[in-house]
Amino acid sequence: MQTIDIEAVKSYLLELQENICRELAKEDGEKDFIKDEWERAQGGGGLTRVMENGAVIEKGGVNYSYVEGTNMPASATAHRPELAGRGFKAMGVSLVIHPKNPHAPTSHMNVRFFIAEKEGAEPIWWFGGGFDLTPYYANKEDCQFWHQVAKDACNPFGEECYPKYKKWCDDYFYIKHRDEHRGIGGLFFDDVNTESTSWNFEQCFAFMRSVGDHFIKAYQPILNKRKDLPYTEQERDFQLYRRGRYVEFNLVWDRGTLFGLQTGGRTESILMSLPSAVSWRYNWQPEANSREAELTDYYLKPKDWLSV
């Protein structure tokens, strides 16, 4: 039987949250992330860190949470019915960064660990997570860099790792009711355990750490390069319009949001990913051959960014 070191996972997650907040606060240069520690009545708690109306980051949230309960929620048992009736512990770091500048993309990352236990039975555990990028005015250079760092995170774990989790990301961050992908992808993985990968606990944990550690390596250089570019009011309006798609995905399709709400999680922390400013327009269409049209016509079509 493998040793499952829950305390080591918790320690890593808190360290990851601290490191990311520190580096992003440097990029903003004006504000820091406030700390909001909370407890969950049913068991567990967390530390939510939020920045609003910074010089660079309009809204950013980096959330650590640890929750436990006696029954897995429907969002978790829908695709794994064998979990029904088990107690669970879930922990993770989840973040979304919405920069003010339309030329700086929104980014998302999360890494998480679940363990479901029942007396007299082997525990069922797995890791999940990933990171993805949602540009508004995109360019190939950023897309290629983002995916190269994603591949770097995967390389120590086998050559099949990056294409597998890159495709899973493309498939997952798809807004079905709009027939659009949310962004240019990255990595998405779930149910990573010994049964699905042949890795032991330590190897699975190492993979989650690699993804978590590579997020800031992928995002910080892009944010630094784009955060001070001049932009027009029209470009700002387009950014707010496209943020609406981000909100729609998170509220309608995102499994993490559903899990948090169904487990009685802290609503403020679950919805911290929503941007401060967003707009919707009725049946708006971009002008043909414009940079706005280029986003959906070219960049939001999944492709092998490392060979374009």
DSSP the chain: -----HHHHHHHHHHHHHHHHHHHHHHHSS---EEEEEE-TTSEEEEEEEEES-SSEEEEEEEEEEEEESS--HHHHSS-GGGTT-EEEEEEEEEEEEESSTTSPEEEEEEEEEEEE-TTS--EEEEEEEEEEE-SS--HHHHHHHHHHHHHHHGGG-TTHHHHHHHHHHHHSEETTTTEESSSEEEEEEEESHHHHS--HHHHHHHHHHHHHHHHHHHHHHHHHHTT----HHHHHHHHHHHHHHHHHHHHT-HHHHHHHHTT--HHHHGGGS-SS----TT--PPTTSHHHHIIIIITS---TT--
Query: Binding residue per annotation — 98?
Result: yes
Q: What are 298's two structure tokens?
A: 């070219």
Closest-CA residue to 228 (of 20, 25, 29, 22): 29
Interstrand relation of 57-69 and 87-99 (parallel, antiparallel or unpaired):
antiparallel
Bridge partner list, 116:
88, 124
d(CA 247, CA 274): 6
Ranges of the chain whose pLDDT falls below 50: none
- pTM (two decimals): 0.92
42 C-beta neighbours (distance < 10 Å), count: 11
Q: Are 87 and 70 in contact (CB under 8 A)?
A: yes
Q: The domain 6-299: what is its CATH number?
A: 3.40.1500.10
CA angle 140, 146, 149 (to 5 degrees): 135
Query: Binding residue per annotation — 112?
Result: yes
Q: What are phi and psi of 214, to 5 degrees?
A: -85, -10
Query: Binding residue per annotation — 265?
Result: yes
Residues 144-155 have pLDDT tens digits of: 999 999 999 999
Query: Is 181 assigned a catalytic role?
Result: no
Amino acid at 148: Q
d(CA 56, CA 7): 35
Q: What is the pLDDT of residue 123?
A: 86
Q: What is the pLDDT of residue 300?
A: 97
Residues 228-284 have pLDDT tens digits of: 999 999 999 999 999 999 999 999 988 778 877 777 777 887 787 788 899 999 999
Catalytic residue among 79, 103, 108, 214, which? 108
Query: Binding residue per annotation — 94?
Result: yes
d(CA 201, CA 215): 22
Query: Binding residue per annotation — 266?
Result: yes
Closest-CA residue to 183 (of 276, 304, 299): 299
Q: How far apart are the first and last CA of the chain?
A: 46
